[in-house]
Amino acid sequence: MMDHHPSDRIADLPTTVTSPRGKLVYLYLEASGGATVADLNDTLAMNKLAVLSVLESLTSQGLVEKTGTEYVVTA
């Protein structure tokens, strides 16, 4: 059994994220520390247009930002 420390925990999901895909992308970005569109496309088995749509929504809500080629959860 793994020891979990409080810093290893994922923060609560923002209540403004309501779509299942939005939740999936947000949680993946938070758990992984960031990802490219290609990473999200491959790992989550979502098509590129869906990934871009979700990222646009999360970015417009101020929950995610693009840093270089990766998207990361804002603090």
Looking up residue 59, the CATH number of its domain turns out to be: 1.10.10.10
Residue 7 is assigned to a structural domain of this protein: no
- Domains held by the chain: number: 1
Tell me how far apart the alpha carbons of residues 60 and 14 are, in angstroms, rounded to a whole number.
14
pLDDT attached to residue 8: 57
In the predicted structure, residue 2 carries a pLDDT above the cut 70: no
pLDDT attached to residue 39: 97
pLDDT attached to residue 9: 59
Please give the residue range of the domain that contains residue 28: 19-73
Amino acid of residue 5: H
Residue 6 is assigned to a structural domain of this protein: no
Cα–chain-centroid distance for residue 23? 7
pTM above 0.75, yes or no: yes
How confident is the prediction for the chain on average, in pLDDT?
89
- Average pLDDT estimate for 37-64: 97
Residue 26 is assigned to a structural domain of this protein: yes
Residue 25 is assigned to a structural domain of this protein: yes
pLDDT attached to residue 1: 47
Residue 28 is assigned to a structural domain of this protein: yes
Residue 67 is assigned to a structural domain of this protein: yes
- Average pLDDT estimate for 41-50: 97
